[in-house]
Amino acid sequence: MKITIETTIEAPVEKVWRAWTTPDDIKQWNAASDDWHTTASTVDLRVGGAFSSRMEAKDGSFGFDFAGTYTKVVPQRLIEMEFGGRTAVVEFIPQEGRVLVRETFDAEETHSVEQQRQGWQAILNRFARHVESLH
């Protein structure tokens, strides 16, 4: 099953793309809630290149690596990736000074579809706030 989430960001596509693909930016926005954070991030943005983000609870109780491989990259338009046998597609769709960011990903079986949708949407919402806060 595929899940799709999206948000519209008040920024040019160059700025949105840069924040999505720069490890220092990723560490600032990649968490579903304030009690989590990303402590490390790597990006090799090319087909066959690897990505990884270390996500941890701030209280140290749990952490995991979200990692995989890029399978398609169209600069400022599209990123496709594979992670743990699942896939995701991120589209960057410019719209008159704004950008619609749409993510479609394979659901996993541990959490409900609604939990997954809410978690990924929370991260995407934080991403939007981060980009819009940049000068």
Candidates 81, 104, 77, 71; CA nearest to 92 is 77
Query: Domains in the chain, please, with CATH?
Result: 2-133 (3.30.530.20)
Q: What pLDDT, on a 0 to 100 scale, did the predictor assign at position 70?
A: 98
- Is it the case that residue 131 has pLDDT exceeding 80? yes
1-60 pLDDT, tens digit per residue, is 999 999 999 999 999 999 999 999 999 999 999 999 999 999 999 999 999 999 999 999
| Cβ partners under 8 Å of residue 103, min gap 6 | 4, 5, 6, 88, 89, 90, 91, 120, 124
- Is it the case that residue 135 has pLDDT exceeding 90? no
Kindly indicate the confidence band of residue 114, based on its pLDDT and cuts at 50, 70 and 90: very high
pTM value > 0.85: yes
69-94 pLDDT, tens digit per residue, is 999 999 999 999 999 999 999 999 99
